[in-house]
Structure 1
Amino acid sequence: MRQKNSTLYRAEALTLGTFFCLYVAQSIPSSFLSTALQVMMREQQFSLSSIGLLQLVKLPWILKFLWAPLVDRHCLTVRDYKRCIIVSEVIYAGLLCAIGLLQVSSDIYLILGLIILALIASGTQDIATDSLAALSYGGRDKSLVNTMQSSGSFAGTLVGSGLLLVVLHRYGWQVVLLCLALFVLLALVPLGLERQIIFEKKDPKRRAGIGDFALFFSRKGIWRQVLFLLLFYSGLMAILPMLRPWLVDQGFDMGSIGILSGLLGTGTAFVSSLASGFVVRRIGIYRARKYFATLILVATLYFLILTQVEVSTLLVSIGVMLLWAAYGSATVVVYVSSMETLRAGREGTDFTVQIVITHLCGMGMAILGGVVADHTGYSGLFALAVLLAHISLFYIHLVFKNEK
């Protein structure tokens, strides 16, 4: 019996590792491209308006709900999902190779176009991977695969926006892009070897339609989940986009900000998301919502208190770790709760719609936070974040109390 259990644990670990590789393969290239291009364009004296065009590369990940029903419609078996993921990643790797052959100084608009195409391919892989994960894991085990999703994303960001910038400086644009393309292909190896991912074939009569992303909002009781997605992150999203400007105004230089926000912050989020999946599995999604909403409230209150005291590097470091720990943990809760509201045959569509809602909320809060900070200062911004965190916690207590 012990040997049988050991074999099962090993098989589950390998399957989770497969999903981790797929999520890291999405995150590293995209985070590297968005960060490296900003630096390289500014070094080559591009205008700030031209650099602002980099925001267009986010469009595929915001609009991917439009083609998510197509993935759900045509992927009915494990083999279908594997084929979709592999084809998408091969296209992604090919486009990364093409981008690496171009020069930022002379081909920037062509590079931006190819990046958008590359992220469409990566977004398609993400839809298929999320759907496959939802079909492969049920009940409390959802938190485990969602941990791989969250921690894989943070690990990719840590490498892509940190370590690879150092490699870029030493080896150059072309070498790094070709290595990224190779890494994307290598990340497919565990999926190709994976034999433990199984689920019953989807019913062909329940295949997704083109407009199914809109029908998601017509379901009975779904709006309580939509409001949860809009509120849960809001306090954090008011602060996170303004964190680097706030650090600048506290007297920290670029190198220190990179260490605090890039390495310490993202590293903390990676660790917290990794641990939170096991916590959610143990205590359940209701208590996890409540506990991590409380953690968000504590993090926002901490930053409000910082506006009333003399700031030191230690106090700032604690605040950064607290903020990113709350973000990493909250991400797992959002993913798990989103997976609990999926319709049969429309898993990828429903999950994608919900994650896009959080992205749009984050963008809106970033804009609102900037306006509030500009007119009332950081104390006003942090007070707004505390208020939003309070509302979120109250909403969870009020609306989800029957899930205890």
Structure 2
Amino acid sequence: MRYLPYWCAYLPQGIVTGLMFQGVAGYFRHAGLDLAQLSWLPFTMLPWVAKFLWAPWCERHTLPLCGNRYLGSLALVQLMMAALLVCIGFVSPLHAVGSVMLALILLATLSASHDVYADGFAICSTDARSRPFANAAQVGGSYLGLVLGSFVFLTLAQHASWRSGFFGMALLTLVLLLPVLARAPLTPPNPARQRPRLELGSVRALWPALTLTAIFYIAIRGLMVLQTVMLVDQGLSLSALGEATTLYGTLGSGAGIMLGGQLARRLGGLRCLLPVMLLHAALAALAALGYPYFGLWAWLVVFGLVNVAAAIGFVVLYNALMGLVRPHQPAADYALFQSADAIVAMSVSVVALRLAHHTGYRPVLMTLALVALASLVPARGLCRRLARSAQAAQAAQAAQAAQAVALRPPASSESEVIHG
């Protein structure tokens, strides 16, 4: 129950992502849109690419609530997300595709801002010991939200209507706010005097972590964006596709979250990044080599493994990144990492769908596998550099603590002064 607020804080963002990449994509694909048309859908995530631009402003102007300096802002944005979901339900999906896209971009803007507050909510209320559990809740909440935004939405859309699907998502978004308000953890006041700002120095200071974030998910991002359309092309109905994504988002991601949490606690985030990247490359190679021979059931198994590997990667990477933020602007730095991830996710999604439309799936799968293998070389050097930086930071903190103890007057001297 201690980590329930973290789960519920990240669920709404998963709902939005599930709607865009699986729910709405599956609905439009089933309605007859081709891959070239669907390749524009990832552009609705542009706000996630650019959220680092306004994240420092968000962190400077947070609305505290119930002893948590991020909670008031988080709650306000979540209410706005629910209201917008209701409005999208009134838009005709196939006769106003452009309007739907614009509404989804606005929804993604709110979701990205919500994530800034949720990240500050999580980072500032945990320490190194409890952070892997919060990371598991972060990833688990996002994955469970993907299930709600895909399976629940697609089921409601198929058996009721487009409008019912979005109304259901709005109701879930409101309900998820209640546990966060009821059990929000306290956060200490910001100890740093420096105010959060967007500056070029942030990029220079954090470039190794930013580069590692950018190359970590290339293979898995491509496989996950192809997942929905490949399964639809295998003949799955909307409800069957929703059931498959439910299993991926519950059993698959649950197993991945548990394994990723264990790796993060036992080895630390940086030490297990390379093995996870190798796993991602192996799965991309399996998909590429098996494409001509795999049937529907084989692809269901492959994409199940992809979801397990993706959840492992999310936990270990974001556990490592939470330890690399600066004290005076943790949410803004974390937003910068996520923007780098979003740039890659959007770019890989657009390119993969476009190439698949023109060349078929197998060349795309082969390209993903080769890029993933090539990324292991720079990733190794980046992990070593970040490990050295972390050790140097820990040594500096230990030296400062030792100096503070050395400058403190002994207890006997204090007693003599007092009695004198």
TM-score category by the smaller chain? 0.7 to 0.9
Show CA shifts across 1:252-300 (max 9, x none): 3234983796344444134312442243123322332233233224323
Q: Does 1:276 align with 2:246?
A: no
Q: Shift of residue 205 of structure 1?
A: 2.8
C-alpha distance in 1 between matches for 2:130 and 2:183:
18
C-alpha distance in 2 between matches for 1:42 and 1:349:
36
Show CA shifts across 1:295-354 (max 9, x none): 2243234335436x8435565444323322211101112211111111122111110110
Give matches, 1:228-239, under 5 Å: 228-239=212-223
Runs of at least 5 residues in structure 2 that lack an aligned partner in the other structure: 392-420
C-alpha distance in 2 between matches for 1:107 and 1:284:
48
Aligned position for 2:311: 328
C-alpha distance in 1 between matches for 2:26 and 2:42:
14
Larger mean Cα displacement after TM superposition, 155-164 or 127-136: 155-164
- So what's the TM-score if we normalise by structure 1? 0.81
Paired AA for residue 252 in structure 1? Q
Give matches, 1:1-400, under 5 Å: 13-14=1-2, 16-32=3-19, 35-38=22-25, 54-75=41-62, 78-104=67-93, 108-194=97-183, 197-203=185-191, 205-209=193-197, 211-212=198-199, 214-219=200-205, 222-243=206-227, 252-255=234-237, 258=241, 262-267=245-250, 268-306=252-290, 310-311=293-294, 315-366=298-349, 374=359, 377=363, 380-381=366-367, 383-385=369-371, 387-388=373-374, 390-391=376-377, 394-395=380-381, 398-399=384-385
Q: Shift of residue 111 of structure 1?
A: 4.1
SS in 2 for 1:103: coil
Show CA shifts across 1:23-64 (max 9, x none): 112222442355444455567777987766544421222221
CA root-mean-square deviation? 3.5
Larger Rg: 2
Paired AA for residue 193 in structure 2? K
- Percent identity over the alignment is 19
Runs of at least 5 residues in structure 1 that lack an aligned partner in the other structure: 1-12
Show CA shifts across 1:188-236 (max 9, x none): 11121125x1232014732212x24x432122xx332222112222233
C-alpha distance in 1 between matches for 2:94 and 2:347:
32
Paired AA for residue 324 in structure 1? N
C-alpha distance in 1 between matches for 2:28 and 2:284:
34
Specify which structure has the higher proportion of helix. Answer: 1
- So what's the TM-score if we normalise by structure 2? 0.78
| CA distance 1:202–1:104, shift in 2 (3 Å) | same
Larger mean Cα displacement after TM superposition, 45-54 or 27-36: 45-54
C-alpha distance in 2 between matches for 1:367 and 1:117:
19
C-alpha distance in 2 between matches for 1:242 and 1:182:
29
